[in-house]
Amino acid sequence: MRVAAFVLVLMLAAIACAADDYEYAPLDDFEDATPWVKGDPNTDLEQRDSAVMPSTEIVHEGAQSLAFVVHVNWTPREGEQYPKGWPMMARELDPVQDWSDWDRAFFWLYTETDDPLPQDRVLRVGFFIEGEEVRGGPWYTIPGIEPGKWQRISVPLEPGRDWTRVNRISFYVAEGWYQDGDRVTFYVDDLQLARRTSPVLLSAAVASRTIDRRTLAIDVQLEGRADPARHSVGITLTSPGGAAEGSFRWRLEDAAAHFEWRPEDLAPGGHHARIQLLDGETVLDSREQYFRSLQPGRRSYLSLISFYSSGQWNADDLSGLTVLNDSAYAGVALPFWGGYETAPVESWDDLLPKLEQVRDLLEIDPWPWVFSNRFIGSPEDASGHASRNAPDPAYFERIPILDLDNETGARADMMTMWRLAVRAAKYWGAPGIVIDLEAYNNYPSYHVKYVAERRGESYAEVIRKVEAVGEELARIIEEEYPQCIVWTLFTRLEVADTLPGVEGVVHPVPGHISLGFLRYAQEHRLPCRMLCGGETTPGYYNPNPEALRRKIIDRDRAMAPYLERFPEHLFLAGTISPYHDLSINTGFMAAAEGEERSLRTLEDFAPMFETLFTAYDWNWIYASSAARTMPYDPAHNALYTPVLDAALTAAAE
Ligand SMILES: [Ca+2]
Ligand SMILES: [Ca+2]
C-alpha cells in the first residue's frame, strides 16, 4: 500500500502522452444518461445544489453528452449536515468490470462558468474498485481545467491497484474549493479505456544516499507491459562538466522496478543521470535527472529545533540550556522573538547581555531563530492564530495580506530582527541562522493567487515583490555575515504550479522568498548557503524507513532543478519528530484511530535516524510538545542522546 501511494504521487506529475500510441475501447458515450445519478452516499444523497442531466447543446460525440451542474451554496439548510458539501455524480458498474489490461481512461470535458475557477482543485474523478470508500478514495484531481473549450482528459490507472473489479465511476467537486454563489457546469463525453501499444516510462527517479552514500537507488515505473525477453533499463552518469562516470543496464521484469547500483568512485557533488527504457538496442523512452551525492563517512550535523527552547531563552536564568552540552546535538535554534511578537524590536545593545550569557553557558552552536510571520497579515477571515496569540492583534490586522511594500512597517521590523539575528550568529561564531517561513497568521497567504487577488495586484507583480523580500534577506547577510548559513524549516520549492500570465513555475510564497535569496547570493557570489529544511518533505513523521526513503528519492527529483541551478548555495536538510512513548502522544503526534504504528519507543526510531543521517549532511530534530519530548529535562536528554549519537555514528561509517 505504501508503495502504491508513492507511485500515485509520481503519476500526478506524469507527462502527457501522444494519443497515437494507444489502442482504445469505448466505455461510455453518454447517449444514455440514465445510469448516472447525483449524490454523495456518505453525506447528502439529495444534493439540492447540483444536478445531473443529458445535454444536446454542448456535445463532443454522438447526439448528447452528460452535464454535471453545480450551484455553490454555503447557506445551511434544514436536514443538511454539511452546508459546504460535495456535489457528486456517479455510475455503478454492474457486473463489475476488469480493467487490468488497460493503462488509462480518456474522456472529453467542457467546463462552462462565468466565475473564476479555483486554483488547486476544480473537479475530481475516481474509478472505484469493489470495497473502496468514497471518503479518502482513489480520487484523481484533473489538472489544467480551462473553461469554454473541449479538453481531452487522460487519467492514469495507477499500477499496484487491483483493477480486476471496478464497480463505480464518480466525479465530484467540494463546495469549499469554490466561492459561495459560483455556478459551474461540466459536460463529459466519450469516455474510453486505453492501452499502450509499447511501454513508456511513466516515471524514473534516481537518488544517492538512501541505501548508503556510495549506492544509487533507481526507481522506474512503466506504463504498458514489460517483456523481460526484450525490455531493459539503462542508466548513464556524467559529471556536470560532461565527463563519463559509468553506466549500467538491467533486464526489466515488471512495470514497477527498483534497482540498486554502486558505481565505482562516485564523487561527492552533482551528477547527471540519463535513464533509458530500451527494446533490444532501440531506445523507447528516456529521462534526465540531476542529483547530488555526499561525502561518505561524514558525520551529519544535528540541530535541535523546538518550541521548548522558547521557555529556556525567555527564562531569567539561562542555565537550563546547559543540559544540551551533553547531548547529541551540535546546535540548537533559539527563538529571539516569538512568531506572534508585535512589540517594537530591541536594539543590539539590549540583546547583548543575553548573547554574552549564552556564549558563556552553551558549548554547542546557538542558532538565532526568526519568523517571517512578522510581516504576514491576519485579516478577519484568516485561518491562522494571530488574534489568539499576538500581544497586539491590530498590528497584524492592518497588514495587507503580506507587508510587501512595507505598508505598515512590519516588513521593516522583520528585516531589523533578521539583521540583529544575523549579527548575533556572527557574534557567537555560530554557523548561521534559522528562519521559519510558516504563515502562522494566515495559511492561505502561501498562495500567490490569493495574495494577488487580495492585494489587487497581478500574479507576476506579487512574485516579483516576494522575491525582492528574499533578495533583501540576502543583502543583509552580505552586509552583516556573508558566510552565514540560512537554515529554513522548509522552502516549498518542491511544490510547483503554474498561473496564467506567469512564465515558468509558480511556488508557494516561501519558495519565491527562497528563490529571491538564492538568486541574489549567486549573483553576488556570496559564501552563504541556504538549507531547505524538509519540514514539508520528508516531513516530521514517516511510518517506517522504507516510506522515508521513498520520500527522500521523490524530494531529490522534485528539487533537482534548483539543486542544479544553485550548486554552491542550495543544500537539503532532513528532519524528524521522534517520540519516546507513543501512548502519551497527543494532537498531530498521536496515532490515528485504528492505525497500527511500528514506531512505539525511541529504540524503534533508530533505523529512521540512521536513514535520515545517511541521506543529509544537515538534520534537525523537531522536539514536539505533542509528544512531551521535553528536551531540556536531563532525564529525557539522557534518553535521547545515546540513540541519536549511535545513529549519527552508524550513518558516518
Ligand atoms: Ca456522446
Ligand atoms: Ca451547499
**Which residue positions in the chain have pLDDT lower than 50?**
1-19
66-82 pLDDT, tens per residue?
Answer: 999 999 999 998 877 88
The domain spanning residue 43 has which CATH number? 2.60.120.260
Q: How far is CA 573 from the centre of its chain?
A: 14
| Residue 59, C-alpha cell as written in the block | 456535445
Do residues 328 and 376 make contact, with C-beta atoms less than 8 angstroms apart? Answer: no
> Are residues 192 and 217 part of one domain?
no
Which ligand is located closest to the Cα atom of residue 83?
Answer: 2
Do residues 209 and 614 make contact, with C-beta atoms less than 8 angstroms apart? Answer: yes
Distance 194 CA to ligand 1 centre (A): 18
**pLDDT at residue 20 in the model:** 58
CA distance linking residue 282 with residue 325, whole number of Å: 60
Number of domains in the chain: 3
> Are residues 451 and 329 part of one domain?
yes
| H helix or E strand, kind and range, residue 376 | none
The CA–CA distances, whole Å, from 407 to 22, 169, 395, 446 equal: 56, 50, 12, 19
> Are residues 365 and 288 part of one domain?
no
> Are residues 646 and 572 part of one domain?
yes
> Are residues 335 and 225 part of one domain?
no
Distance 11 CA to ligand 2 centre (A): 32
> Are residues 496 and 359 part of one domain?
yes
Give residue 157's domain range.
2-196
> Are residues 171 and 228 part of one domain?
no
| Residue 291, C-alpha cell as written in the block | 542529483
If you search the block for the grid coordinates 490586522, which residue do you land on? 397
> Are residues 260 and 204 part of one domain?
yes
**pLDDT at residue 259 in the model:** 93
Do residues 90 and 170 make contact, with C-beta atoms less than 8 angstroms apart? Answer: yes
Neighbours of ion ligand 2 (CB under 5 A): 49, 73, 85, 175
| Residue 407, C-alpha cell as written in the block | 505598508
Last residue of a domain, one of 127, 162, 196: 196
Which ligand is located closest to the Cα atom of residue 67?
Answer: 1
Helices 410-428 and 459-480 pack at an angle, to 10 degrees, of 30
Instruction: Say whether 318 sits in a helix, a strand or coil.
Output: helix
Distance 43 CA to ligand 2 centre (A): 11
Q: How many CB atoms lie within 10 A of CB 576?
A: 21
Q: What is the DSSP string of 566-587?
A: -TTTEEEEEEE---SBGGG--G
Do residues 68 and 133 make contact, with C-beta atoms less than 8 angstroms apart? Answer: no
Distance 49 CA to ligand 2 centre (A): 6
Backbone angles phi, psi at 638, to 5 degrees: -70, -25
Last residue of a domain, one of 293, 313, 342: 293
The residues pairing with 251 across neighbouring beta strands, listed in sequence order, are 232
629 sits in the region (left: phi over 0; alpha: psi -120 to 50; else beta) called alpha
Say what the pTM is: 0.85
Distance 121 CA to ligand 1 centre (A): 25
| H helix or E strand, kind and range, residue 386 | helix 386-389
Distance 172 CA to ligand 2 centre (A): 13
**pLDDT at residue 509 in the model:** 98
> Are residues 508 and 462 part of one domain?
yes
Last residue of a domain, one of 271, 293, 315: 293
CA distance linking residue 23 with residue 153, whole number of Å: 16
Distance 445 CA to ligand 2 centre (A): 25
**pLDDT at residue 119 in the model:** 74
In 3D space, the residue among 435, 336, 445, 437 whose CA is nearest the CA of residue 399 turns out to be: 445
Distance 119 CA to ligand 1 centre (A): 29
Do residues 60 and 153 make contact, with C-beta atoms less than 8 angstroms apart? Answer: no
Distance 56 CA to ligand 2 centre (A): 27
The residues pairing with 575 across neighbouring beta strands, listed in sequence order, are 620
613-637 pLDDT, tens per residue?
Answer: 999 999 999 999 999 999 999 999 9
CA distance linking residue 340 with residue 371, whole number of Å: 9
The domain spanning residue 332 has which CATH number? 3.20.20
CA distance linking residue 135 with residue 146, whole number of Å: 26
> Are residues 462 and 344 part of one domain?
yes
> Are residues 246 and 141 part of one domain?
no
- Residue 31: HSE in the Cβ half-sphere, 13 Å Cα cutoff: 6
The domain spanning residue 216 has which CATH number? 2.60.40.2550
Do residues 368 and 430 make contact, with C-beta atoms less than 8 angstroms apart? Answer: yes
**pLDDT at residue 41 in the model:** 67
Distance 58 CA to ligand 1 centre (A): 10
**pLDDT at residue 56 in the model:** 98
Distance 46 CA to ligand 2 centre (A): 11
Do residues 236 and 249 make contact, with C-beta atoms less than 8 angstroms apart? Answer: no
In 3D space, the residue among 568, 597, 603, 567 whose CA is nearest the CA of residue 585 turns out to be: 597
> Are residues 588 and 444 part of one domain?
yes
